[in-house]
Amino acid sequence: MHPAVSVIFFTVMSGAGFGLIALIGLGMPLPGGLAAAFFIPALAGGLAIAGLVSSTFHLGHPERAWRALSQWRSSWLSREGVMAIVTLVLFGLYTLVWMLGGERILWLGLPVALCAVVTVYTTAMIYAQLKTVPQWHTGLTPACYLVFSLTCGLVLAAGLDGFRSAGPGAAGIAFAAILIAWAFKLAWWARAARSSLDAAGSTMETATGLGAIGAVRLLERPHTGENYLTREMVHVIGRKHAVKLRLIALCVGALVPLLIALAVWFLAASALWLIPAFVALMAGLFVERWLFFAEAEHAVSLYYGGRNA
Amino acid sequence: MTSLPSSTDKALGLVIDLDTCVGCHACVVSCKEWNTGGYGAPLGDLDPYGAEPVGAFLNRIHTFEVSPDDAPASIVHFPKSCLHCADAPCVTVCPTGASYKRSEDGIVLVDEDMCIGCGLCAWACPYGAREMDPVENVMKKCTLCVDRIYNENIPEIDREPACVRTCPAGARHFGDFSDPESDVSRLVAERGGMDLMPEMGTAPVNKYLPPRPKTRPNAAAPAASQGEPAPDGFLGWLDRALERLG
């Protein structure tokens, strides 16, 4: 699949934003005071909104994006739009109460957290629902999106808590969260390796219905040039460097933040060090998300020569 | 509304005969021509005379080689357009309601004024039936020439999809699959019409007729294996005489 920059940016940034919103709502310890009550929600909402705005850049008609809120009964993409808005409105109210009252109210925060988690789930289901992309079509896809979202939120919240010179205890939790998140991703990668179109039962023979006669090979494409389908869904560049890119994602997104978290934890350093860990985690996730799209095989590639397309 | 109708009054669609198709691409051209002037935005092209032309098509012909284990390979020309699936995944993923399946005749259409051009329907389709228009940035797909088949302003003989009307080989047939007595239903029954990628669970309406089995030379008269028959008459005398000359 074509790795559109706007969609990669959207899933990573909004994922982190909604993750932070969820952890704020759950009552994760954070600095007090009016400045914190303003800047921390602004950061969380900013990440989420930056991602959402970016996602409209890949639309052919961004000015009609509001129409996407109408089909929540049947469409995961529509549900995602609705849930994002519901979450942000509730979070806005929660923030207002926090700023005015100076305290975070748990019973207001819990529904915010729940909505944030559901929003990330709906984002993941946009991809996981597609039977045409067997590597995505698994419950592990929303699991990965959720653990990464919450981990990003957790690491960032723990880092921000460093401003009130909190102890290093949160670093231990951040360490565990990063480890668990990447364990999910490794499981996803392991499953993806077994989930080719072939393994899902789709071959050039089933695509053409000619399997009863013999083995099928593409002799000629419909046109000599590329087209929307080949550019969008028969994208093969990603698979060439997949192994190297996975190592980069793991080094930058897992190893670096894990080492930082470990150092903070054992050296009882300032939790502020978790902010660079968060930046590394996000950088790794951009690579991971690029691969999520670039490596995915779409059924339509079978009409364009299959794996040799 | 992007929920699928539980049933449709008719199931209009195409039968494509892979035995008869000669791969001339006439249907591609007539489809492009009709749909550039018909329903919705024109089918756009970018850089049509340049180095990298790209454009939207609702119908494309692929060419495959199929190799039986025990016979020479043969070529199959393979026209592909929207299959107007009964369980169309492209419809339910649409966030705006632009994609819909009509309950009266089962045609899957895009309301281009509602389409935001997100492309998710094209991702949901296993067949590559939907293409984003490079000029209008809305999703284009086969309309089954909805602006021809009910069009009382054109002669009755023309009230079928442009691709069917134009096919010089008679490889394309249009009709109602919900009627078991229709021509298309009978063709499917007689010739073993098949679904593409049935494992995707899309329940396509369009059916493909497989190529008829080829005549196999070695299964017919065993002429080749026994060599040429000995000539008689004058040629036989000449043959023997020349043999004697060494």
- Report the SS3 class of residue B76: strand
Interface of A with B in 178-207 (CB under 8 A): 200-202, 204, 206-207
**Which residues of chain A make contact with B211, given a CB cutoff of 8 A?**
210, 213
CB contact under 8 A, A68 and B118: yes
Quick one: which H or E segment has residue B175?
strand B172-176
Burial of A269 (0-12, 13-18, 19+ CB in 10 A): middle
Q: In whole angstroms, give the CA distance from residue B49 to residue B223.
A: 54
Q: Is A74 on the interface with B (CB under 8 A)?
A: yes
CB contact under 8 A, A132 and B208: no
Closest CA to A228 of B121, B60, B41, B131: B131
Burial of A270 (0-12, 13-18, 19+ CB in 10 A): middle
**Which residues of chain B make contact with A136, given a CB cutoff of 8 A?**
none
| pTM for the predicted model, two decimal places | 0.91
Note the maximum CA span of chain A: 75
From first to last of its 246 residues, chain B has per-residue pLDDT tens of 578 998 899 999 999 999 999 999 999 999 999 999 877 889 999 998 999 999 999 999 999 999 999 889 999 999 999 999 999 999 999 999 999 999 999 999 999 999 999 999 999 999 999 999 999 999 999 999 999 999 999 999 999 999 999 999 999 999 999 999 999 999 999 999 999 999 999 999 999 999 998 887 665 555 444 556 677 888 888 888 888 887
Bridge-based pairing state of the strands B74-81 and B99-101:
unpaired
Closest CA to B208 of B216, B200, B222, B198: B198
Q: In whole angstroms, give the CA distance from residue A1 to residue A8.
A: 12
Question: Quick check: A99 and A38 in contact, CB under 8 A?
Answer: yes
Residue listed under structure tokens 């951040």: A174
Spatial neighbors of A65 by CB under 8 A, at least 6 apart, are A56, A59, A81, B116
Closest CA to A38 of A108, A82, A92: A92
In this prediction the ipTM stands at 0.93
Which residue type is seen at A285? Answer: L
Q: In whole angstroms, give the CA distance from residue A129 to residue B223.
A: 58
Q: C-alpha distances in angstroms, A88 versus A35, A168, A174, A219?
A: 20, 30, 25, 52
Token pair for B52: 């990298």
